[in-house]
Amino acid sequence: MSLWRALGPAVPRPKGSETLRAGFGAGVGLALAAVVLWVLAPPDADLLAHPLLIAPFGASAFLIFAVPNSPLAQPWAVVVGNSLSALSALAVLQAGLPALVAAPLAVTLAVLAMGATRALHPPGGAVALFAALAAPAGWGFALAPVLVGSLALVAAGLMWNRATGRAYPFRLPPPSPHGTADAVPERRHLPPPGALAELLSRLRLDANIGVEDLTRLITAAEAEAATRPLAGLTARHLMSRDLVTVAPATPLPDLAAAFHRHHFKTLPLVEAGRYRGLVAEEALVGLADPALTAADLAHPAPDAAPETPAADLVQRLADGQEQAVPIVEAGQLVGLVTRSDLIALLARSLPS
């Protein structure tokens, strides 16, 4: 039974929308590559008989558009991997070897070249095999269609993936919100990126997932486990209801007095009961103009509904950008959930 399961599908069924996104993207990318190659083709080229696209581009397009987070689909891997593979095959052809020898030798050299340059790209093996068997005339084959077509596919991938909500190329570690070298708080307990890269290499998974995606996976799993005690709790259960608010016309001295009196970090700005933004205590630092008002200092912090899960609020308040989340219902400010509220809740959920 385990053998039969191992021979079955190894990945979950993709969402229909994701399949459509990848399929149409691959088509658009190949069409763009064909147009670019057509524009650069010699005037006397028979483009109907020789459309310039080569079969390995289909595999490259699949990686770029269907699995854009794969290390094998990154721009360096696509462009350098395909180009070096073409050059490897063309070099083998110079020896005049029979196809039975030239084809496997070309693929062997292509794999070695891709490994040496950290440009592993499976379609590169197909490029080498195609070139060894088709025996294109001249070294120009490595330039066009291979290099130019690969660049066009990568350019299309950059535009399409970003336009449809996917990150391409690789995600990079997010910068610290405080402009320091420290990682964001939820990642400081993790091994540094270099150690994670070494771990992936040791487990032979470095061609499957990048360091940043591995970090995102670990932190997401930890967040899921940490927020399980919050299951069923919503903003309505946590929010403060007896709120200290300020009006748009509240002057700077009164704002300073309110912060001093109540020891809050933020105060909601309310006009006729409707939420208009948050005023942070730090916004008052260094200001002395009594003509300034709350409306001048407020910023439009995103609000949440009373039924927002507590786990979602944890994620929003953990990034260090906001001290509180206003809870709004039908346009009216009905409560406020602060970072201190969530810390107290999480502390109560810890085993004693």
We find that the CATH architecture of domain 235-349 is Roll (3.10)
Residue 347: pLDDT over 70: yes
Residue 316: pLDDT over 90: no
Q: What is the pLDDT of residue 68?
A: 95
Residue type, 304: A
Q: What is the pLDDT of residue 158?
A: 97
Q: What is the pLDDT of residue 320?
A: 61
Q: What is the pLDDT of residue 180?
A: 67
Q: What is the pLDDT of residue 84?
A: 98
User: What b/e string do you get for 77-116 counting C-beta neighbours within 10 Å, with b at 16 or more?
Assistant: bbbbbbbbbbbbbbebbeeeeeeeebbebbbebbbebbee
> What's the whole-number mean pLDDT along residues 258-278?
91
Tokens matching residue 173: 């570690």
Residue 48: pLDDT over 70: no
Percent of the chain at pLDDT > 90 equals 58
Q: What is the pLDDT of residue 175?
A: 67
Residue ranges covered by each domain of the chain: 14-163, 185-226, 235-349
**Mean pLDDT across the chain:** 88
Q: Please say whether the beta carbons of 168 and 161 come within 8 A.
A: yes
pTM metric for this prediction: 0.71
Q: What is the pLDDT of residue 6?
A: 75
Q: Lowest-pLDDT range, 95-109, 121-135, 167-181, 326-340?
A: 167-181
Reported as a single tens digit per residue, the pLDDT across 82-130 is 999 999 999 999 999 999 999 999 999 999 999 999 999 999 999 999 9
Q: What is the pLDDT of residue 222?
A: 77
